[in-house]
A = this chain, B = another copy of it.
Amino acid sequence: MSNDPPGFELPLRLFLGFRVLIDELHAELARQGHPHARPMHGFVLQAIGAEGTTAVDLGRTLGVSKQAAGKTIEALERLGYVERARDPRDTRRKIVRLTPSGTDVLARSARIFDELRGRWAAVIGDERLAELEADLRKVTPPDVFRLDVPGWFGA
């Protein structure tokens, strides 16, 4: 089909869509009192979850080394989004938990993403958006998010 768009447009549009959503999310988060949140933070906070986790487990979940996970946790701790406490059952472990601020940014993110999705639905239609999501589900792995984006893209 010579009328098909060139294949390189597809990845470009996918990334641009991702970037637009993330940028608008963080613009709105900044307005709502979270000006220091970064794109990766949301994914990390989501991966930590309500029950908490450890640096090693977080690294495994996100596909990076435990050291990298530890540094990310430190950064989130400085921002007040997580806190660490020793595990009484295993003195080696330090449980990382969301603070109220961390829970707040996660809740706001969910609400803002829903609103952004609504905006897309207003542009392309509810049904088409649902189809778009369903189609993407068919061609993407069920894998969780990998956090090695910087090195993956550039190195």
Contact = CB atoms under 8 A, between A and B. Distances in A.
Contacts of A112: 7
A126 B4 CA distance: 9
Given A149-B153, A150-B153, 13 more contacts: A5-B133, A6-B110, A6-B114, A7-B110, A7-B114, A10-B116, A11-B17, A11-B22, A16-B141, A20-B139, A38-B155, A124-B138, A128-B135
A28 B117 CA distance: 34
Q: Mostly helix, strand, loop or mixed at chain A's interface?
A: helix
A150 B141 contact: no
Contact of A124 (B17, B22, B128, B139): B139
A154 B117 contact: no
